[in-house]
Structure 1
Amino acid sequence: MEPRIREAMLQNRQKIIEAYSGVLKTPEFAESIESDTAGLPHTEARLRIWGEALHGIIGLPAKPPKMIDGRISFAGF
């Protein structure tokens, strides 16, 4: 894990725990873990949903992964 992300997560530990708990309750995330967990669309959904929630807390410049031409693309940090 990138050190600045780890540090930001440690500084916001309780918010991260609460966000993850909230993400688990969203219908789209629930669907992505309840059916075809290995499929690209569900994998992308999990990464995107959690990435957006995480970004909202730590605020580091990172774009969540997304599907482009049938592949998961991640632009990085």
Structure 2
Amino acid sequence: MRRAVNSSVEDLPSAIRDRGSSIRNNSDRTARVYEKRNHSGRHVCITRSGGSIHDLRGYNLNDQTRSLKINRNNCG
């Protein structure tokens, strides 16, 4: 996946849009992936520095992620 240079990606590239089944966060901030463009719809938060979700099916987001936002606050 491409890096979120300005802390967000409002519409993921077509090569990975709606195709993700897992996610890993290598940044020092938390990350949220969203079901829809422009950070809307259902979302899940991934903890910082190596946090990951190996199967997005448990969050009803398998092959349904559309945008990404990097945050300074904690998940929860």
Do they superpose with TM above 0.5?
no
Larger % of strand: which? Answer: 2
Larger % of helix: which? Answer: 1
Rg larger for: 1
Greater relative contact order, per chain length (Cα 8 Å cut-off, separation 6+): 2
Q: TM-score, normalised by structure 2?
A: 0.23
